[in-house]
Each structure stands twice: as C-alpha cells, then as structure tokens.
Chains A and B, each alone.
Chain A
Amino acid sequence: MVMFFASCSKQGKHTKHEDAGANTNINKLKSISTDVKMAYIPGGEYKPFYGTDTSLVTVAPYLIDERAVTNQEFLEFLKENPQWRKSQVKRIYADTSYLGKWPSDLELPANALPDAPICQVSWFAAKAYAQSVGKRLPSLDEWEFVAMADEVSPNARKKPQYSATIISLYMEKERQYKAVMKSKPNYWGIYNLFDLIWEWTDDFNSILTTSDSRNSQYEDKNLFCAAGATSSTDVLNYAAYMRFALRTTLKANYTIANLGFRCAKDTTISKAN
C-alpha cells in the first residue's frame, strides 16, 4: 500500500533529465508505409537567400522525396491516425480550414485527384505525417538547396531565366489540383518544387523578419533579439523572396489551399555513388 502511494505521488517526478521531451505530441502515431522514391542529395555549401550574410551554410547529405505527399497518401495516414482527421484535430494543431474542402473525415473532395498534392494541412499535421512514415520535414536549407537546380545544373541561380521561369509557374492559377510528377524533374530527379504548391519546411519559423516585408524593416531590433545577424543576401532572386515572404507570414497551425509538403530523411552515406 505504501508503495502504491509512493509511486503515485512520485508520478512524473524526478525522472532522468535525459528523458526530457523524448515524446512529442505525435508520439502515439501509427506507422504507415509509402513507396515514394527519395533522391540522394550530397549537400555542400550554399548561400542562403536569408541568413548570416558573410558565410556560406553547409548542408549535410540527406534524402528527399522526389515528389510531394499526395491526397491518397494523406488519406491513408488519416485512416490509421484518427486524431488528425478534420473532425478530431485539436485547434492548437490546425486552424478551422484544415482539410477545408474535404466533405467528411475520410473523403477526398469531389474531383480531387488521388495523386494531386495534399494541401490545407498545418505544419503540425505535416510533421506528424512525416513521422508516421519514418521521415521528417526537410529543413529550410535542405529545401532551398535542391531548389537552386534547374533541369540541367545543380545551381542555376545565376542564370537570368531561372527566377523568371519560377515566377511564371507561381503565377499559374489552381495549379495545386494537378497530379504530381507530370512535369520534368530537376537536376536531382526531384519533381514539382515550383509548379504545383508551396511547401512547409521544418524550420519555417527561423526567418527573422517582420511579417510585413514591404516596409523593408528587416532588422526591427525591438521585435528580434540579435536581428542584425540575419538579412537578405540574394535580392535578385525574386522567386526565393516570394517563398521567404510567405514563410514569414505562416503560423504552425495555419492551413492554406496551396500549401503542402514533402518529406526528407537523414542519411549516413556521405558520398554520391
């Protein structure tokens, strides 16, 4: 009896520090399988659009999905993980427009292609999905690293048509309803980085600008501690600017009609074969 009481009053107390936070909100996830191919990216140094303006950022080798997560795949995830269905998701994890066009919990919108990218999901939901397939969201640097490529070269940023081509893709309306992998892959074999949707990154919240970028107050000292350490380094890359402008306006429970995601994964391979 004494032991019972002791175990109760000590519940959750004095556990080892190493255990801290080993569980996250999404620890009760059921795994699902996916057959999406991942591209190996050797990584390397790159100059972020935003970041410490003097130094290059080193990106470690990683794997990234060749395409975005689809409607069908997200539906499979919801079948196994009811806590992420639209009727059950906690507001703190997803705003009221989460899966807004879905007529019910396990029903794709009418006319939605099963292999079109899933959209209108929050960062929390995207992260949970990634965990359920044994992956994670790509970091902002990982995403932008592969986004430097065009069809023939790993870094096309200096080509005059590079940004213009992406901008014209961004301008197309209703593009998020198209199926994945119908356009050409880039240098790394990765599809649809620009032509269908915007994509969540794991650390989208690491861009320290005010959300209203038009006033060019990138360094509002009152809003940010050490804000002077970040600034724009690639002002000519207007396409990248648009992505960063979007990311700065996002909150993790926001859901947007053309914002989806793809997954990434660590790799132990350090050299491309």
Chain B
Amino acid sequence: MKFLSLLLAVVLFTTSCQESKKQPTETIPSNSIFNLTTQWHNQNGDSLHLNDLQGKTLVVVMIYTSCKTACPILVAKMKTIESKISRKEIDDVSLVLVSIDPEVDTPPHLKEFAKTNNMDARQWTFLTSTEAATQEFANVLAMKYKKISPIDFSHSNIISVFSPNGQLVSQEEGDIDIDKVVATVHETVKKNR
C-alpha cells in the first residue's frame, strides 16, 4: 500500500510537471530564442529560463535602468506600445525589458524601477542575468553594446517582436516606429491564437 501510494505520488508528480510546460520541448524551432539555456531572474527574484516565456507574443528591448540618455526614450516607447495593444490581446503578450547592466540591475532594483515607472502589471517582465548570458542574448538580437565607463553603456536601440515559440518576427532599430511594432504584435497574436 505504501509502495502504491508512493508510485501514485511519482506519477502525479510527473504529470503535473509535464502539464506546467506549455509545449513540449521538441516543438521549439531551431531558430527560436528558447533554445538558449541561460538562467535569468525577473523583477520578483524568480529564477527562470527564456523558454518560461513561451506561449506569448514577446516584445523585447535591452536597456539599463541607470541610463540617462536613450533608454528612458526606449522605456517610454515600450509603455506606449503596451498602451496601444488591445486589452483583449494583452494577456497574450509579454513586454520584456532585459538589462545589459547585471551588476546594478538586481531584481530588487528592477522591481523598484518597474514600480516607479508604472510597469508593474502582469504583462511586464524585467530580466537580469550574468554578463556572459547577457552578451549571448545581445548577440542573438544582433544588438551592439559596450561598457564605456563603470556606469555607462553605448548600445543600439532595438525593439524586437518574437512569436510565442520564440522566433523573431521583426526588429525595429533606431528611430522606432511604434505603430509598426503594435501592428506586428497584433498580427502575431492573431496568427497564434
């Protein structure tokens, strides 16, 4: 009996774990960002992998929170994009801000930044990791960046949209056309429903 209940427990344990995955791993396309196995932390201090973001259309930008020049503009653009996404579709979208400054941008720091900027609703995810993982991710986005002083980075301004299985749909670089991003998000959500 004891053995049986243990067996039952193991079976339940296994199924519950499988159910928590939205899609089985083998359906991840070869060019998906979900192939990256780096470990990240969100603004709540939870440890996660990129494939934990699977299942939603992703709008991704890389920034650092102490930036005084272009990043506030990028953050503002992300907020405008978020506000223009239909409320009927917002649950199918994650807006992800990835820090290029893991030393300063710890989870508590990101949490505070999210609060101050009214970006603490469910659809916002802030991510931070190690320098190596950040570099790898920047390279996947083809984003250029360089630490130019202990507190400042030069970096390219890119907002990327990914499909729910992690494939790149589009990238807007430089003078970002917000409405184009919003339209892409809408199409991607529609296509994957």
Interface, chain A (partner B; CB < 8 A): 1, 4-5, 8-9, 11-15, 17, 19-25, 27, 52, 90-93, 123-124, 202-203, 205-208, 220, 222-227, 229-230, 248, 251-253
User: Quick check: A225 and B142 within 8 Å, CB to CB?
Assistant: no
Q: Which residue from A25, A52, A207, A223 sits with its C-beta under 8 Å from B136?
A: A25
Question: Using Cβ atoms and an 8 Å threshold, which residues of chain A touch B142?
Answer: 205, 251-252
Flag B17-39 by CB within 8 Å of A: 1 or 0 each: 10010000000011111011111
For A230, list chain B residues within 8 Å (CB): 146, 148, 154
Residues in chain B near residue A27, CB distance under 8 A: 37
In-complex Cβ contact of A11 among B17, B41, B140, B155 (8 A): B17
Given contacts A25-B37, A25-B136, A226-B154, contact A20 B17 (CB under 8 A): no
A226 in contact with B35 (CB, 8 Å)? no
**Per-residue interface assignment for chain B, residues 77 to 92, with 1 indicating a CB less than 8 Å from any chain A CB and 0 otherwise:** 0000000000000000
Name the B residues within 8 Å of A207 (CB-CB): 144, 146
Q: Report B119-149 residues with CB < 8 Å from chain A CB.
A: 128-130, 132-136, 138-140, 142-146, 148
Query: B106 at the A/B interface (Cβ < 8 Å)?
Result: yes
Complex formed: what's the CA distance from A223 to B142 in Å? Answer: 13
Chain A residues with CB below 8 A from B10, complex form:
4
Q: Which residues of B contact A14 (CB under 8 A)?
A: 45-47
- B107 contacts the other chain (CB 8 A): yes
Q: Which residues of A contact B35 (CB under 8 A)?
A: 25, 90, 92-93
Given contacts A223-B173, A225-B69, contact A5 B153 (CB under 8 A): no
Do A206 and B139 form a contact, CB below 8 Å, given A12-B47, A17-B106, A23-B39? no
Total interface residues in chain B, CB < 8 Å: 62
Decide if A222 touches B39 in the complex (CB within 8 Å).
no
Q: Which residues of A contact B174 (CB under 8 A)?
A: 220, 222-223
What's the least CB distance linking A256 to chain B, in Å?
A: 15
List B contacts of A203 (CB < 8 A): 135, 146
Q: How far is the CB of B118 from chain A (nearest CB, A)?
A: 22
In the complex, what distance in Å separates the CA atom of A252 from the CA atom of B137? Answer: 10
CB-based contact A24/B38 at 8 Å: yes
Contact of B71 among A4, A12, A225 (CB under 8 A): A225
Given A11-B17, A12-B47, residue A21 in contact with residue B9 (CB < 8 A): no
Are B132 and A21 in contact, CB atoms less than 8 angstroms apart? Answer: yes
B139-167: CB near A (< 8 Å → 1, else 0) gives 11011111010001111110000000000
When distances are taken between beta carbons in the complex, the residues of chain B under 8 Å from A220 are: 174
Number of A-B contacts (CB under 8 A): 155
Residues of A within 8 A of B9 (CB): 1, 4
Chain A residues within an 8 Å CB radius of B8: 1
- CB <8 Å contact, A20 and B128: yes
What is the distance, in angstroms, from A229's C-beta to the closest C-beta of chain B? 5
| Residue of B8, B38, B67 ringed by the most chain A CB atoms within 10 A | B38
Which residues on A sit within 8 Å (CB–CB) of B70?
224-226
Residue of A nearest to B6 (CB): A1
Across the interface, do B140 and A226 meet the contact criterion of CB distance under 8 Å? no
What's the Cα separation between A225 and B49 when bound, in Å?
28
A-B complex: 4 closest residue pairs judged by Cβ atoms: A225-B70, A21-B130, A21-B133, A252-B139
For residue B174, give the distance in angstroms from its CB to the closest CB of chain A.
4
Select one of A12, A20, A206, A229 contacting B130, CB under 8 A.
A20
Which residues from chain A contact B146 at a C-beta distance below 8 Å? 203, 206-208, 230
B16 to chain A, nearest CB (A): 6
CA A91 to CA B32, docked complex, whole Å: 8
| A and B contact pairs by CB, cutoff 8 A, 12 listed | A8-B20, A17-B107, A19-B47, A22-B130, A24-B38, A27-B37, A92-B30, A92-B33, A207-B146, A223-B157, A230-B148, A251-B139
Asked if B179 is an interface residue, CB under 8 A from chain A, the answer is: no
A27 to chain B, nearest CB (A): 7
